[in-house]
Structure 1
Amino acid sequence: MTQPPENDDYFEEGRRLFAGPCEFIFASARPDDLPPAGPPEIAFAGRSNVGKSSLLNALTNRKTLARVSNTPGRTQQLNFFAMGVGANGGERLRLVDMPGYGYAAVGKEKIASWTRLMQDYLRGRATLARVFILVDGRRGVRDVDEEMFDLLDRSAVSYQIVLTKYDELKVSERAPMVEATRAALSRRPAAYPELVFTSSHSGEGIAQLRASIVQLLHERNA
C-alpha cells in the first residue's frame, strides 16, 4: 500500500524517540513571535476536524499532548513541542501543531490571521524539515487541501501526506484511495511521493510514521 522506510532500525529508533520526553515549549500567535530556531522541526497541518490532535496524541503515546475537540478550529496558534530532550536540555526534534485550515467555527478575520501566520512560518523557517499534511482517508484530497499544497509548493517546503481514519474504510476502498491521492500529488514539485495511511484508533501506520520522521532526521544530518 505505502512504502515503509528501508531501514528497519528506524522503527525501533522511532519507538524510543516518541516514547521519550515530549514537552510543550512555545505557542506563537503572530509571525513576529516565533521561538528561536533550534533543532529540525516537523509540522503537522490539515483541514479542521481531520483528526490532527488525535494523531499527535497517538504518535507520542499521550492522551492530552494535543487537545481533542469536536469543534473545528480549536488549535488557534502554532504550538511547539520539544522531543528527545536530553539531560543537558538539548532537543533532537520539535513537533509543530499548526492551526487547522478550511472551515472553522470562528470569524473570517481570525481565519485570515491564522493563514498569514502559517504563510510567514512556512516561508521563513530554515529549520522546518517537512510538513505532514493530514487528509481524511474516507474523503480524499479536497479543494482546500489543494490550496495548502499550492502554498507549500510556492514556499518550496517539503510535504508528505498522511491519510487518516484507516480503520473506517473498507478493505476494498483503501488501495483506490492511495492511488487517487498519489495521482493528486503526481505533478507537485514539493510533495514527497510516499504516503502513510494511519488510524489513531487502531494504531495502524503510527510506527511507520515515526520511522519516516527518524529517517528524515538521518537524511538531514547526512
Structure 2
Amino acid sequence: MTPEEEQEQAAREEAASKLFSGRVDFLLSAPQLKFLPEPTVPEIAFCGRSNVGKSSLLNALTGRRAIARASVTPGRTQELNFFEVGEPTLFRLVDMPGYGFAKAPPKVVEKWKQLVRDYLRGRPVLHRTLVLVDSRHGLKQVDRDMMKMLDEAAVGYRIVLTKADKVKASELEATAAKVAEEARKHVAAFPVLHVTSAEKGMGIAALRAAVLEDALGTEGF
C-alpha cells in the first residue's frame, strides 16, 4: 500500500470499529423463510463448517459475546440468526447454520440445504456472504459445495481463513495461496482473501471495515 492508501484504510478501520462498538442486538431466529424479517436494510451473512470458529469471529468483529450466546441457544443452531447493527439499524448480520454435519440425519441436512438455498436465491438485501474456512484444514468438499451454491445463487462472497494463529506461518502461507488460487475459479468469489485469528485479533480490523463497506458501500465511512 502507498502511504495514502494506508491512511485511508486506517480511517476505514476506525469508522468500522466505532460503528460496531455501538448497538448490535439479536433480532430473531428464522427456521423457515416465512419467519425472515422484512428486507428493509442490507444483510451480510456468515457461513462455515461446524467448529470453524464462526461465533468467535462474530464476537471479535462486534466486540461482545451476545452473538455467540444467542446463536448457540438450543433450537437455533439450525436456523438463520439475525442481528441488527447501528442505531437506527443500518444493516444486519446473519449467522447461518454450520454445515458439514458428521452425524446429522439426511432429513436434517436436506432441510438445512433448502433453507440456505432459498435464502441465498431469494433475499434481495443480501449484499455479501462470508465463507469461513479453518486455516488448519483449508477447503473441504463441503466448503466447495457452499461456494458452488453461492455461485449458482449469484451471491458475492469473501473467503475468510479462521484460527490463523493455530498453524505455522509457512503452513498458513501455503494454505492461503492454495485457497486463493481455487477461489479465483469461482465467479462469485471476492478476489481478496482475509486471514484472521479471533483469539489474537489478527485481521479483525480489516475484515470489520470490509463488512461495513459491503453493507453500506463508501457511504459507511
* TM-score in same-fold range (> 0.5): yes
Following TM superposition, by how much is the alpha carbon of 1:219 offset from its aligned partner in structure 2, in angstroms?
2.6
Q: Which amino acid is the alignment partner of residue 144 of structure 1?
A: V
| 8 Å contact kept, 2:44–2:215 | no
| 8 Å contact kept, 1:29–1:76 | yes
The residue correspondences of 1:121-140 to structure 2 (distance < 5 A) are: 121-140=119-138
Deviations 1:35-84, CA, capped at 9 Å, x for gaps = 110211000000111111111111111123223999xx972100000001
Q: Specify the SS of the correspondent of 1:42.
A: strand
**Residue number in structure 1 paired with 2:180:** 182
| 8 Å contact kept, 1:82–1:95 | yes
**Residue number in structure 1 paired with 2:210:** 212
The residue correspondences of 1:84-123 to structure 2 (distance < 5 A) are: 84-85=86-87, 90-103=88-101, 105-123=103-121
Q: Give the helix-richer structure, 1 or 2.
A: 2
> Residues 218 and 63 (structure 1 numbering): CA distance in 2 closer, same or farther, change over 3 Å?
closer
In 1, distance between residues paired with 2:190 and 2:108? 30
**Residue number in structure 2 paired with 1:12:** 14
TM-score (norm. length: structure 1): 0.89
Q: Which amino acid is the alignment partner of residue 91 of structure 1?
A: T
> Residues 159 and 4 (structure 1 numbering): CA distance in 2 closer, same or farther, change over 3 Å?
farther
Aligned Cα root-mean-square deviation (Å)? 2.4
Deviations 1:136-177, CA, capped at 9 Å, x for gaps = 011101111000010000000000000000110111112211
> Residues 185 and 50 (structure 1 numbering): CA distance in 2 closer, same or farther, change over 3 Å?
same
Greater alpha carbon shift after TM alignment, 147-156 vs 74-83: 74-83
> Residues 177 and 68 (structure 1 numbering): CA distance in 2 closer, same or farther, change over 3 Å?
farther
Q: How many residues align?
A: 214
Identity %: 45
**Residue number in structure 1 paired with 2:198:** 200
> Residues 140 and 116 (structure 1 numbering): CA distance in 2 closer, same or farther, change over 3 Å?
same
TM-score (norm. length: structure 2): 0.89
Q: Which runs of 5+ in 1 are unaligned?
A: none
Following TM superposition, by how much is the alpha carbon of 1:10 offset from its aligned partner in structure 2, in angstroms?
0.9
* Structure 1 residue ranges (4+ consecutive) displaced by more than 4 angstroms after TM superposition: 3-6
Question: Which residue of 54, 73, 76 maps to 1:52?
Answer: 54
In 1, distance between residues paired with 2:101 and 2:78? 13
Q: Specify the SS of the correspondent of 1:7.
A: helix
> Residues 68 and 181 (structure 1 numbering): CA distance in 2 closer, same or farther, change over 3 Å?
farther
Q: Specify the SS of the correspondent of 1:134.
A: strand
Following TM superposition, by how much is the alpha carbon of 1:211 offset from its aligned partner in structure 2, in angstroms?
0.9
**Residue number in structure 2 paired with 1:149:** 147
| 8 Å contact kept, 1:162–1:195 | yes
Q: Which amino acid is the alignment partner of residue 116 of structure 2?
A: M
In 2, distance between residues paired with 1:81 and 1:5? 30
- Say if 2:24 is the partner of 1:22: yes
Greater alpha carbon shift after TM alignment, 108-117 vs 186-195: 108-117
Q: Which runs of 5+ in 2 are unaligned?
A: none
Q: Which amino acid is the alignment partner of residue 122 of structure 1?
A: L
**Residue number in structure 1 paired with 2:64:** 62
> Residues 163 and 4 (structure 1 numbering): CA distance in 2 closer, same or farther, change over 3 Å?
farther
In 1, distance between residues paired with 2:7 and 2:152? 27
